[in-house]
Amino acid sequence: MADDAPAPGNVRLQLNALQALCRQAFAVRLAAIAIGAPFAMANATDGLSRYAVLAAAVLGVMGSYAMLRDWDRFGPRLLAHPTLMAVDLTFGAVLLLTASPASPLAYATVCTPLLAGLLYGWRGSGVFTGLQLIVLVTVYRAWQHHPGAGANTLLIAGFCVGAGIIGVTLRNLMFRFGTASQALSEANSRLAVAEAVESERARLAREMHDSVAKTLHGLALAAEALAASASADGADPGTLKRQATTVAGAARRAAAESRDLLSDLRRHTNLTTPETDVLAELARQVSAFEARTHLPTDLRHRGERPVLPCATARHVLAIVSEALENTHRHAHAKAVTVEVEVNTSEAEFAVRVRDDGVGPPPGATLGDLTRTGHFGLLGMAERAASLGGRIDLTRPEQGGAEVHLALPLAPTPPHTPQEEAAHA
């Protein structure tokens, strides 16, 4: 027989289950004693024998009732002191010796090995099953001349052995199940933490690419231009001053963007953030882009005015900003159009950024470009996926490129890594 299963670290659920089983066993035992006590009283002789049987019946009923009613108080004592179970077994032996193996009291004896197996494991079950078998042999010798005494005694003995094995088996199964559940819970927790960390790393990569990385790239270009101008013969002080001012402005912008990123990391999630008018934010974004790049940019709107949750609007604005920046750097376009559409019939919100530049390579898809190291496009795709939407990069027939972002009309705000970790 296998050794007893060790109790898991968190045994609250398993102890509750053991408590329920033990209380049910005491309930059956209480009913058997209550029904079989009259048989013992009827067979007892007058005098000390009758008083002993009465005392054993009363103590057995009171003990079983106390365990059934107030297990939280008396159960730990029974668990810590197995001798109490032996005292209870003695009361049952007195009743059974007087009543006969054919009385209902015989079935109360089956509860003792069952309880010993549930509470004490293989060793306790073996000890109390052995003691109960000794009691049954004693009872048989006292009643062996009565018809059916041998068959009833043998039947009850088999029940006692089986009940002891069942009690230990249930105990070990519950503890092993608790250990497996605890291991599974810990594995799920580690997996949730790893996913939250991975999600946070991806978010940081997107934010740094869309803000600090671009600014530092511009800062490097401005610094190179300043170095080239300073090393040239007859450098114009006014040109050097303008270039130095550009470098200083880019450095301050990079510091501000880094500070904003750090503030966002330390800021607690605010679930009551008001919704954002995306059209107004896009108008400011397009105006700033046109003023900085001198690239004509037209903002168009169809349908109702789009109002989105703050977190969703931030992702939408970041996607549009990345699309505009790609147009400025790579497309060699002469004009850009940003089109916003709210389609209530299809419950969809869409943004299209279209230019008349060189466009993507023929046959290239957004997935192909993201796999070749275009981290800006990868960040756009990840942002769209976190919103439950989709993004496509196509090459229209008239040339150029079109970035199409489609979201549900009432998108669910994306979960932050902090929320995912708290949920895990």
Question: Residue 420 pLDDT more than 50?
Answer: no
Alpha helix segments (H runs only) across 144-210:
149-208
User: Helix (H) and strand (E) counts for the chain?
Assistant: 14, 7
Tens digit of each residue's pLDDT (9 = 90 or more) over 11-60: 555 667 777 888 888 888 888 888 878 877 777 777 777 788 888 888 88
State percent of the chain over pLDDT 70.
81
86-95, 124-133, 153-162, 327-336: least confidently modelled range: 86-95
Strands 307-308 and 276-277: antiparallel
Q: In this predicted structure, what is the pLDDT of residue 332?
A: 85
Task: Find where tokens 């580690």 sit.
Answer: 190
Tens digit of each residue's pLDDT (9 = 90 or more) over 264-283: 666 544 544 567 888 898 99
128-137, 331-340, 362-371, 398-407: least confidently modelled range: 362-371
pTM for the full model?
A: 0.45
Question: What is the SS3 assignment for 408?
Answer: strand
Tens digit of each residue's pLDDT (9 = 90 or more) over 346-394: 788 999 999 998 888 776 666 666 666 566 777 788 888 888 888 888 8
Contacts of 386 (CB under 8 A, 6+ apart): 315, 414
Q: In this predicted structure, what is the pLDDT of residue 421?
A: 43
Question: Distance between CA 36 and CA 32 in Å, rounded?
Answer: 6
Report residue 411's pLDDT band, with 50, 70 and 90 as the boundaries.
Answer: very low
For residues 177-207, b (16+ Cβ closer than 10 Å) or e, as one string? ebbeebeeeeeeeeeeeeebeebbebbeebb
Question: Distance between CA 6 and CA 8 in Å, rounded?
Answer: 6
